[in-house]
Each structure stands twice: as C-alpha cells, then as structure tokens.
Amino acid sequence: MPLLPLDETAAPHAQPPPREDVRRRLPGVTAARRAVVLLPLLLLAVWAALDRRAVQDGAVRLAGADPWWLLVGLLFTYLGAVAAACVRQGAIRERLPTGPLVASQIAAGAANHVLPASIGAHAVTVRFLLRQGVPLPRATASIALYSLVRAVAKTPVVLVFVLAAPSAAPPVRLLPQGRTLVLAAAGLLLAPLAAAALYAFVRPLRRPALDFVRAALTDARLLHARPGRVLPLWGGAVAAPLLQAGVVASVGTALGVPMSWPQLLFAFLAASTAAGAVPAPGGIGPVDAALVFTLAGYGTPLPLATATVIGYRALTVWVPLLPGMLVLSALVQRKLL
C-alpha cells in the first residue's frame, strides 16, 4: 500500500514554529515591545513638562556663559559614563563588550534621573548583564560591589584634597553636628539591624539573601586577585567623582565664579558627600542645595552660585537626557536590554 505524503499543517507531532516567529505573529508582543521602546521618550516629555521652569531659567542664565568651557563640562559628563563602565566591568568576572557596555551606562545615566537612589541605573545595568548571560545573583552582587566601591573611593579623594590643598577647604564645617550627627549614627546602626530582622523573620528571603552574600563575597575575592579587574574597578571609582566635579568647575569657570579649580572641585565633593544619603532621583535636590550653600560659603554671590548649579544640572541631566533615552530605546530594540 503506497504511503501518502503527510500534511505538515495537520500532523499532530509537527515541530512548533520558532519562538521568534511566534512573537512576530502575536500583535500584543509587538505592541508591548514598541511601548517599551517609546516609554523612555514619554518619561522625558513628562519630566520636561514638570520642570520646564528650571529649563527656562537655566537657559537664560547660561546664555552669557563661555560656550567652550560648557563644552568641556559636557565632555566631562560623557567621560563619567566611561568611568562608570570601567567600574561595572571591574565588578564582574565576565568580559563585557566595550561598546554596548558604555552605551548601557549612557542609558543608565538617563534612567538614573527618573527613579531615586540610582534604582533606574542599576535596573538598566542588571538587565544588560542578564542579556550578557550573567546569572541574576552575580549580577545583583556586582551592583552591590559597584555601589560600595564608589562610596569608599570618594573618601580618599576628599582626604587628598584636604591634605594636598588645604586652601580648597571651604570656611564652613563639613562634619554633621547635633541632631544631624545623631540621625546619621542612628541610620548606620539601624540599617544592619533592619537587614538582620528581615533575615530572621521573613523566611522566603533567607535563601536569596544567602545566595546574594555568597556570590558577592566570592566575586569580590576573585576580582581582587585579577589586576585586569582591580584597576578599572577602583580607578573608575576614583575618577567618577572627579569627573562630576570637573563639570561644576567648568560651568563655574564659564560663568566667571571667583573660585579656583581646586576650590570648585572640592565644593562639589563636599556637597555630594553631605547630601548623598538622601534618596532623590540622581541626587537632584539635596546635592543642589548643598552645592549652592557650599559655593556661597566661599564668598560666591548667591545668584551666581545658583546659576552654576543650574548649569551643572543642564550639562549632566537635560543635555544628555534625550541622547540617553534614545540610546536606551535603541538597546531595547536590539534586545540588549
């Protein structure tokens, strides 16, 4: 009896189409991907609408500034993304592609100004690491190492300024006093106690917490045994605050602030250190107020100090925000995020 040709469309054991073909046939998946791509641009529009007055004031005050020094400040801004990429690479054992890594940090910088306490930047980075095949426990452990190294590296930078250039120290007290000191000490004590209480009483968190601690300690030990990871990890962490301070110094020079570069650099380092504990989006708000008062402590007129802070925010937030959102959308389209 001759065998009849099988109808592939009716065969019960036919191979299912590739997953990518299924996604292309599902309009909901395509629409969801397009929505994710357009979401950063929508957030940008909302942000601009809510803070349009700051944009207008900054543009007016910066109209008479030296444009070449503003370009130098913008260069420092994008070099900050390169420094962040160095720290990210130093905090992970796998070799990451250089171009996409730097692009992810440009996108992370834009996301960082939408959510508080660097949540947006860390979320973008974790997604990028997952796309590169890094397991989730080690990806989150690299975020913890990144944050710890960035915080620790700023301390010797400030001390070097105090010891090498004592004239750069502002004529104001830098250490907290009174209730501020009590609140800071209470925060340092309550944070580990709260973590221990969560671990003791919330059992579903025990296994993920142990995996996270093991991954963090193992990666930290292995990474510090490799010079190819230690140098970008700590070198980028030291360079990052100096590059941010360089933006403030460039804007101050462009506006004619009567302060030297060491004083401008130290003013930002002191202000960002004092206000870094407040979980505001990108540090916007606390750092701005602290920087204005620090510049005024040097004798800078308050309107000029305010213009310097507005210029700093323009170069670190508004000017890079649109390119950063476009890079974020491009990375989502190319499935790198």
∠ CA 332-334-337, rounded to 5°: 40
Which residue is it, tokens 């791509």?
37
Residue 306: phi, psi to the nearest 5?
-65, -40
CB atoms within 10 A of CB 88: 26
Higher pLDDT, 266 or 283: 266
pLDDT > 70 in the chain, percent: 60
Q: Give the span between the Cα atoms of 26 and 33, in whole angstroms.
A: 11
Neighbour-count burial for 303-331, b at 16+ CB within 10 Å, e otherwise: ebbbbbbbbbbbbbbbbbbeebbbbbbeb
**What's the pTM value of the predicted model, to 2 decimals?**
0.72
Decide if pLDDT at 220 tops 90. no
Amino acid 234: pLDDT? 92
Ranked by mean pLDDT, the top range of 127-141, 180-194, 198-212, 281-295 is 127-141
Which residue is it, tokens 């580990």?
192
Neighbour-count burial for 133-170, b at 16+ CB within 10 Å, e otherwise: ebeebbbbbbbbbbeebbeebbeebbeebeeeeeebbb
Q: Mean of the per-residue pLDDT values for the chain?
A: 74
pLDDT tens, residue by residue, 286-315: 677 778 888 888 888 888 888 888 889 888
Q: Which of 15-29, 67-81, 205-219, 223-237 has the lowest mean pLDDT?
A: 15-29
Q: Which of 200-204, 261-265, 278-282 has the lowest mean pLDDT?
A: 278-282
Q: Which of 1-10, 140-149, 152-161 has the lowest mean pLDDT?
A: 1-10
Tokens of 28: 């909901």
Q: Give the span between the Cα atoms of 240 and 109, in whole angstroms.
A: 13
